[in-house]
Structure 1
Amino acid sequence: MPQMMPMNWVLMFLFFVMIFILFNIMNYFSVYKLPTTKSSVKTLTKTLSWKW
């Protein structure tokens, strides 16, 4: 049935677009980020003695 071919192409296109979107969403949200805490970041304060 050649008259049904455009419908199959559209369905196949939509199918691959949905897979592509799902793949990108899964990759975007699968990144696990550790929260940084204040105790792990140490700030070095250096005292300067001005001699003037």
Structure 2
Amino acid sequence: MPQMAPLNWLALYISTALLYILFNSLSYFESKYYPINSQTSNSKIMYNWKW
């Protein structure tokens, strides 16, 4: 029935959008952040610029 075609497109759009949001949120929250502990952050780095 051609009258029901817009409902199928709407359902397809909603399911695709939900899948996209789900994939992006899982990808964002699944990543872990490991801070880098560097010893050079405490010491002062001197640059000798000669222009």
**TM-score, length-scaled by structure 1:** 0.66
- Structure with the bigger percentage of helix: 2
Q: Residues 1-52 of structure 1, C-alpha deviation per residue, up to 9 Å, x if partnerless?
A: 111000000000000000000011011101111256xxx443226xxxxxxx
Question: How many residue pairs end up in the alignment?
Answer: 42
Which structure 1 residue ranges, 5 or more long, are not aligned?
46-52
RMSD of aligned C-alpha atoms?
A: 1.6
**Rg bigger for which structure?**
1
**TM-score, length-scaled by structure 2:** 0.67
